[in-house]
Structure 1
């Protein structure tokens, strides 16, 4: 009976390290020294230039503060002066061994920016939108355990290429 109790205790305690944040815990999500303010600032010029958003409104998602450190699942959304939604930027650090985030929609093409593949997904327009409206574009990339996304509405290839460059530069700058 004592042996069974000790075995159960050993199994229970071994499971405690699965989510350890100590030196030996490889499952912990890394935390950057960068802040959400830096993430939110990164694509500002892209939205201002490409969408003529002179009065850009930026807000971090999920009620987070701009002073918080970047960790897992960080997002900022962008609106123009009249509150029209322009898109979002997203960054997340993966736990070692996790695979990159994948869109539920098939990729329309793969772009390459400085050796990093960037997946372009054209999402379907919501049913209430005009068929002539620019489609939602989601660009996704992963580099050294960091996933990033940039979303906006455009059918202009130059804007899509510029967005891919912003995304890769953002991941490389903020991954430290």
Structure 2
């Protein structure tokens, strides 16, 4: 089981291919805050909901100085399909050997329908502009997670609830 990150830990460096096969590294984002989230599989209901929630809130997050990067074991081709099908605006990275997932504590044993399995642990790590972990959230829910994150980061727009 990989070690979970704690606030203050240096964020593990990574360089992974995006949906177009172009390498993206955490170092590219130096000086910016980055929300790195880990999800089990593109094009599945929960992961789609989470990716769409991040995309829907991208303007708010970017306005507050956050970049959003989603990482899964999916191959770049599948990520490209996912991005096109759902019109995603976030950066999606491919980690098929699960090295980055493991380095961030987002791969290991988890409970699934009452059984213990090894797999991707849905997680979100917020990396500060200084490259250190500000928050590390594990076993998060796909639905409602982005809204909770925005509340926790105190980024909710003034004026309370948003209308449709």
Query: Normalised by the size of structure 2, how large is the TM-score?
Result: 0.28
Query: Normalised by the size of structure 1, how large is the TM-score?
Result: 0.27
Larger relative contact order (Cα-Cα within 8 Å, sequence gap ≥ 6) = 2
